[in-house]
Amino acid sequence: MKHEWKKHEKELYMPKNKPEIVTIPKQKYFMISGKGNPNTEEFTDKIGVLYSLAYAVRMMPKQGFTPEGYFEYVVYPLEGLWNLTDEGKQAMTFNKDELLYKIMIRQPNFVTKEISDKAFEYVKRKKPHPFLDEVKFGELEDGLSVQMIHIGSYDNEPESFTKMKEFISSNNLEILTLEHREIYISDARKTEENKLKTVLRYRVRHRI
């Protein structure tokens, strides 16, 4: 049976559209960092190289190599960690040019450094990419977090962040860092803006 994250990991990827507390385990990713407005060709290209690597792993059995522990699965969705430069934080108005980001695609637990290296070799050989050398493979752990699903335009996310901050405050929690995670459940190229689904997540801790 194919592992489908929407069905089998609902608590991580299909939360309710109201804030809830979750604990996120350590997860493996291909990830790439950058700065600036995401509405650019560079950002699109960086997404492209992540997907090239993700599909290189997914298709390994068809290339004649089956990693130990491999199972059929649906490639995980694009995710992003977002923050602002110091200048952006001090500005009176929000400026997308001051955004700092790390975008990533999660990998199944069977993916090791060796398998990751094979994926890099495959992409380098079959589909060379200018940003390939900037991609890193590694683990991240969000731990205790508050998340919810946001439905609608990315530009309306502040409404959901306000709800999350109120929930965090009223549950005797505090935000660890202003950096937040977004998980893009919908394909923005194929989904009407008012129907886009995005998981929003803050890392938190109990207030002392």
- Per-residue pLDDT band for 1 (boundaries 50, 70, 90) equals confident
Condensed to tens digits (0 to 9), the pLDDT of residues 83-110 reads: 999 998 998 888 999 999 999 999 999 9
Looking at every residue in the chain, the average pLDDT score rounds to 96
Condensed to tens digits (0 to 9), the pLDDT of residues 36-83 reads: 999 999 999 999 999 999 999 999 999 999 999 999 999 999 999 999
Condensed to tens digits (0 to 9), the pLDDT of residues 192-206 reads: 999 999 999 999 999
Q: Residue 183 above 90 pLDDT?
A: yes
Q: Residue 127 above 90 pLDDT?
A: no
- Residue range(s) defining the domain that contains residue 201: 5-206
CATH number, domain of 152, equals: 3.20.80.10
Q: What is the mean pLDDT of residues 166-175?
A: 97
Count up the domains in the chain and report the number: 1
User: What is the 3-state secondary structure of the chain?
Assistant: CCECHHHHCHHHHCCCCCCEEEEEEEEEEEEEEEECCCCCHHHHHHHHHHHHHHHHHHCHHHHCCCCCCCCCECCCCEEEEEEECHHHHHCCCCCHHHEEEEEEEEECCCCCHHHHHHHHHHHHHHCCCCCHHHCEEEEEEEEEEEEEEEECCHHHHHHHHHHHHHHHHHCCEEECCCCEEEEECCCCCCCCHHHCEEEEEEEEEECC
